[in-house]
Amino acid sequence: MAYILNKTNGSIVATVQDATIDLSTDLTFLGRNYAGYGEPQNENFIRLLENFANSTPPTKPLEGEIWYDSSNKRLNFYDSKEWKSVSNLVVSETDPFNVSNPPPSGNLWYNSLESQLFASNGSEYVLIGPPIGADTQAGWRGSYEEDVNSIGIHIYNIKAVIGTDVVAVASNQEYNVYSGSQNKYPIADDFNPPRLHRGINLIGANANTGVSASFNSITGAYTSGTILWGTAAHALYANSATSTAGFIYSENAENLYKPVAFLTTSSNNKALVNIDFGITFNPYTNYLKTTRFEGLATSALYADLAERYEADNIYEPGTVLVIGGDKEVTVTTLYADTRVAGIVSKNPAYMMNSEAGTDETHPYIALKGRVPCKVTGIIEKGDLIVTSTYPGYATAWHGGSAPDGTIIGKALGTQSEDFGIIEVLVI
């Protein structure tokens, strides 16, 4: 009587007649009364025990069959169409990569010392995460606070931490930290809150390694807590500087350090800044009431005075804008439009309303000086420049007196082609 062999799902895999063997799979199936059944039967157990260990895959696999690739030291399973590799996981404190026998791509290594997971790309182990090793306890993390003036509204930032101590904060807003915030600083309070500035804030150390609420009403700065934001020109104070490091120790009753954004060549501490033959800044005399500044002259690399205005789109330098649109400024298709605002400046010499936004949202518009301008039509030097019918382009005014409010400036260059860029003196 034949054996009918079924898979787990009930389908028939083989029918084995009496006293015969079946080789339709990678195992040998024996029929009833087969002479010498012991050897093939025991070999079946060995194949299963070693998961068909070989450098080549089994040739007659069934779905779900497992094969150990002895060349790459990796388990594989058959998904009814092809063999799929199963990544090996190594747990150790040292990198298990072996140049002479590199692990296949996809192998995993868990660094038990750093508590980090790596994956092999065939050439090296690449970190998956977390990005901070357990031994360093240092890194950046997302966080938020609330402003004392807008409690309940989260202001998001990024904090540099060592363990649980905050050592720096990157913020795109300036605000006083509300002590009820989830991530409040240890010594914050609602009546004298620490202040975060726009940019990178380095946090001063104190007993709790947080931002101190110690505020000096004379200098207008926190004497501990935030010690730097933005660039070094904005440092608040130094603990040991005396005369030449950009901070001067003031010999007065308060015995305070005062912030200085310039170096001094003077050894007289009473002159807070004194650069010979150039600039003098001396708030020492009656400094609570008077601040004095003296200078010879100033200069700028670029040539225009500009102010930020909110635009309804992103406009490149040289674009001519008018007042209107969904925001404050936009382009126009009117010739000699009286709503003209000016030309988008790339590098203003003097920037007004600089914190209103970015160049994408609030471009600088030249109010005075010389700037490149997108133009169309024939233009001669000295021509009066007005808006054209081409959005964002200016053109020359031809005719009598131009209507009031239409003149952008005077051409400093010539234009003989359809479109181009020339310098314009904004008036």
Q: Which pLDDT score is estimated for 142?
A: 79
The mean pLDDT value for 393-407 works out to: 92
Q: Which pLDDT score is estimated for 269?
A: 45
DSSP 8-state class, residue 244: S
Q: Which pLDDT score is estimated for 228?
A: 55
- CA atoms of 91 and 69, how far apart (whole Å): 21
Tokens of 40: 């093939």
On whether residue 64 sits in a domain, the answer given is no
- CA atoms of 312 and 425, how far apart (whole Å): 25
23-32, 44-53, 95-104, 386-395: which has the minimum mean pLDDT? 95-104
Query: Where among 74, 109, 129 does a domain terminate?
Result: 129
Lay out the sheet containing 66-69: strands in order across: 66-69, 74-78, 83-86
Tokens of 387: 């808006």
In a shared domain, residues 401 and 376: yes
Whether the upstream peptide bond of residue 391 has omega within 30° of 0, thus cis, is: no
Nearest to 227 by CA among 204, 200, 196: 204
Could you give the number of structural domains in the chain? Answer: 5
Q: Does 15 have pLDDT greater than 90?
A: yes
- CA atoms of 38 and 57, how far apart (whole Å): 25
Model confidence over 107-131: pLDDT tens digits?
899 988 878 899 988 888 998 887 7
On whether residue 71 sits in a domain, the answer given is no
In a shared domain, residues 184 and 272: no
In a shared domain, residues 225 and 247: no
Model confidence over 323-363: pLDDT tens digits?
999 999 999 999 999 999 999 998 899 999 988 999 999 99
Looking at per-residue confidence, does 278 or 246 come out higher?
Answer: 278
Q: Please work out, in degrees rounded to the nearest 5, the angle formed at the alpha carbon of residue 183 by the alpha carbons of 180 and 187.
A: 65
Q: Which pLDDT score is estimated for 301?
A: 74
91-95, 164-168, 263-267: which has the minimum mean pLDDT? 263-267
The separation between the first and the last C-alpha atoms of the chain, rounded to the nearest angstrom, is 109
CATH number of the domain at 376, please. 2.40.300.10
On whether residue 153 sits in a domain, the answer given is yes
On whether residue 68 sits in a domain, the answer given is no
Give how far the C-alpha of residue 74 lies from the chain's centroid of Cα atoms, to the nearest Å: 39
Percent of the chain whose predicted confidence (pLDDT) is above 90 = 44
Percent of the chain whose predicted confidence (pLDDT) is above 70 = 72
- CA atoms of 415 and 379, how far apart (whole Å): 5
Query: Where among 298, 323, 346 does a domain terminate?
Result: 298
In one-letter notation, the amino acid at residue 247 is: F
Q: Which pLDDT score is estimated for 218?
A: 40
Residue 195 has a CB neighbour count (10 Å cut-off) of: 18
On whether residue 184 sits in a domain, the answer given is yes
- CA atoms of 143 and 11, how far apart (whole Å): 57
Q: Which one of 40-54, 224-238, 262-276, 283-297 scores highest in mean pLDDT?
A: 40-54
In a shared domain, residues 204 and 162: yes
93-107, 124-138, 212-226, 318-332: which has the minimum mean pLDDT? 212-226
Q: Which pLDDT score is estimated for 177?
A: 80
In a shared domain, residues 368 and 289: no
Lay out the sheet containing 108-111: strands in order across: 89-92, 108-111, 116-120, 125-129
Q: Which pLDDT score is estimated for 293?
A: 55
Q: Does 286 have pLDDT greater than 50?
A: no
In a shared domain, residues 326 and 267: no
Please give the torsion angle defined by the CA atoms of residues 188, 191, 197 and 202, in that order, rounded to the nearest 10 degrees.
Answer: -30
Computed over its alpha carbons, how large is the radius of gyration of the chain? 38
In a shared domain, residues 10 and 109: no
Query: Where among 190, 211, 234 does a domain terminate?
Result: 234
User: Is the model's pTM score more than 0.85?
Assistant: no
Q: Which pLDDT score is estimated for 69?
A: 92
In a shared domain, residues 379 and 317: yes
Q: Does 193 have pLDDT greater than 70?
A: no
- Answer whether 162's CB lies under 8 Å from 140's CB: no
Q: Which pLDDT score is estimated for 264?
A: 41
In a shared domain, residues 45 and 10: yes
In a shared domain, residues 343 and 287: no
Provide the pLDDT confidence category of residue 242 given band limits of 50, 70 and 90.
very low
In a shared domain, residues 393 and 347: yes
Q: Does 235 have pLDDT greater than 70?
A: no
In a shared domain, residues 311 and 361: yes
Which structural domain range is residue 32 located in? Answer: 3-49
Q: Which pLDDT score is estimated for 188?
A: 37
Looking at per-residue confidence, does 353 or 240 come out higher?
Answer: 353
Q: Does 98 have pLDDT greater than 90?
A: no
Q: Which one of 50-64, 91-105, 284-298 scores highest in mean pLDDT?
A: 50-64
Provide the pLDDT confidence category of residue 11 given band limits of 50, 70 and 90.
very high
